Amino acid sequence: MLFLILILAGHISFGQPPQFDEFAIISDKDGYSNVRAAVGGGSKVLDTLNNGAFVFCMETKDGWTSIMYGKRKNELNGYIHHDRLVYVMDYEKIPRVSGSDSVYAKDSLRVVLSARRLSRPGYGIFKAGKSYGTDGERPTSEYRSIVVHFGSREFSLPRVAIGDLFQPTIYNTKVNYDRKNDILYIQSMNSDGAGGYYVIWKIEKGVYSGRFIASDF
């Protein structure tokens, strides 16, 4: 009987959207989707997002997901129907290599992350302008590098992609691969106890093509 209940529970939950704290991308047959002010198709349209745009999902209710997204360097909020979203976690998972907090690998794909302590705590924040992970405090650590190996090819995320991100917690990293479209997603939740933020990077066909940071949640 318990086995049957577990099977039924699995069927009930399969394909349901996550309830909170997940990255997703817009995927709509029209090529874009409306962002609304409240739950429901009759609520005010605040904005539109094109296919492929990142959103950060916070809660789903009655088929509508509360999202955060970025536009013109602003963090904005609204609601979008969950059918217009593809959750990054649903793409192929690239597992962490056993015994390592910083290496993820599968087949010919390998992702290596590294962090370093700042020799002078807080030094980087003055170079970066707006920074993440400090909550006004002086940072003590930063990303050293994120290197992606596609077979014999090697690619490092540029400094502009990681230079303003402090207090990285490497073990919180997730790596997913959209093999059909050759798009790699790397995401992490970083914090030293304050100033937490989520970040996701996109590498498309071996080329860095952007990131999204959710810090006001």
For residue 11, the domain's CATH number is 2.30.30.40
Name residue 36's amino acid. R
Read off the pLDDT of residues 157-211 as tens digits, 9 standing for 90 and up: 999 999 999 999 999 999 999 999 999 999 999 986 667 899 999 999 999 999 9
Judgement on whether residues 119 and 206 belong to the same structural domain of the protein: yes
Choosing from 62, 90, 118, the residue where a domain stops is 90
Which domain range does residue 45 map to? 2-90
Token readout for 68 is: 């955060």
Please tell me the total count of domains within the chain: 2
Read off the pLDDT of residues 19-47 as tens digits, 9 standing for 90 and up: 468 999 999 999 999 999 999 999 999 99
Judgement on whether residues 183 and 109 belong to the same structural domain of the protein: yes
* Residue 62 dihedral angles phi and psi, to the nearest 5°: 55, 35
Among the listed residues 57, 148, 54, the one whose alpha carbon sits nearest the alpha carbon of residue 94: 148
Name residue 43's amino acid. S
Is the torsion defined by CA of 32, 42, 77, 146 positive or negative? negative
Token readout for 96 is: 């962490």
At 162, is the secondary structure helix, strand, or coil? helix
Decide if pLDDT at 97 tops 90: yes
Judgement on whether residues 46 and 81 belong to the same structural domain of the protein: yes
Task: Tell me the percentage of the chain whose pLDDT exceeds 70.
Answer: 83
pLDDT confidence tier of residue 74, bands split at 50, 70 and 90:
confident
Choosing from 24, 56, 90, the residue where a domain stops is 90
Mean pLDDT of all residues belonging to the chain: 85
Of the two residues 128 and 65, the one the predictor is more confident about is 65
Distance CA 132, CA 139 (A): 9
